[in-house]
Amino acid sequence: MRSKSEIISLLTNPGIIAVVRAQMAEQVLPLAEALIAGGVIAIEVTMTTPKALEAIREASKKLGARGLVGVGTVLDAATCRAAIAAGAEFVVSPILRPEIAAAARALDKPVMLGAYTPTEAQLAHEAGADFIKIFPSDGLGPNYIRALLAPLPHLKIIPTGIATPELVPQFIRAGCVGVGLGSLLMPTAALQQNDRAEVTRRAEEFVSAVNGARQQ
């Protein structure tokens, strides 16, 4: 079993969390395999996925040490605990709810709470969040992250809802410790056509983009 510090290290290296919002639970494992093949090992299975807990249980067992399976769209502490019991190694919420952070920390798992404003981001940190999910980041942009981190440099920020590929390295250069990517990694067409090769290709490109941005 991985320690919390090991999980945090894997979440920030390479620093891409794949937000898997699948239409069917059966899609999760093939998508995870395709993402891992491209170097994206952190797989966030959202609770909006049908039979999400079953998908998490299967993926965590079959991927083993090759992948890091977590849960997303967590809205309460009970769901947090159930997902961890199913095998989730990290917890992500789009909202600021301290009880979720408390539940995850009690089970020694990293947790990410959602925020939009500087006050929300700081409150999420004070509630015990290991990471701050800036969501949706589409209308804010990398300059907002720079402005946020100037007075609050202790925050570990991971934006999600990024609109275009070219913004991904810009968010990293702005000071984000990682990014959460959904449709940019797994476009609708690739899901509908079961095009795992395209998912792997996109994963490789984004890993390269993030690594490159960190070296600049």
- Res 180: pLDDT: 98
Q: What is the pLDDT of residues 53-85, one digit of tens each?
A: 999 999 999 998 999 999 999 999 999 999 999
The CATH number of whichever domain residue 83 belongs to comes to: 3.20.20.70
Please write the tens of the pLDDT for every residue from 149-182: 999 999 999 999 999 999 999 999 999 999 999 9
194 has pLDDT over 90: no
The catalytically annotated residue of 33, 133, 156, 198 is: 133
Task: Match 């992500």 to its residue by tokens.
Answer: 92
Task: Supply the mean pLDDT for the chain.
Answer: 96
pLDDT band of residue 35 (cuts 50, 70, 90) is very high
The alpha carbon of 3 is separated from its chain's Cα centroid by a whole number of angstroms, namely 18
Asked if 120 is an active-site residue, the reply is no
Q: At residue 138, does pLDDT exceed 90?
A: no
Query: Pick the catalytic residue: 44, 58, 89, 198?
Result: 44
Residue 139 is predicted with a pLDDT of 86
173-202 average pLDDT score: 95
Query: What are the residues facing 42 on neighbouring strands?
Result: 17, 68
Q: How far apart are CA 90 and CA 96, in angstroms?
A: 16
Provide the token pair at 57.
């249980």
126 classed as catalytic: no
Provide the residue range defining the domain that includes 142.
Answer: 4-215
Provide the number of structural domains found in the chain: 1
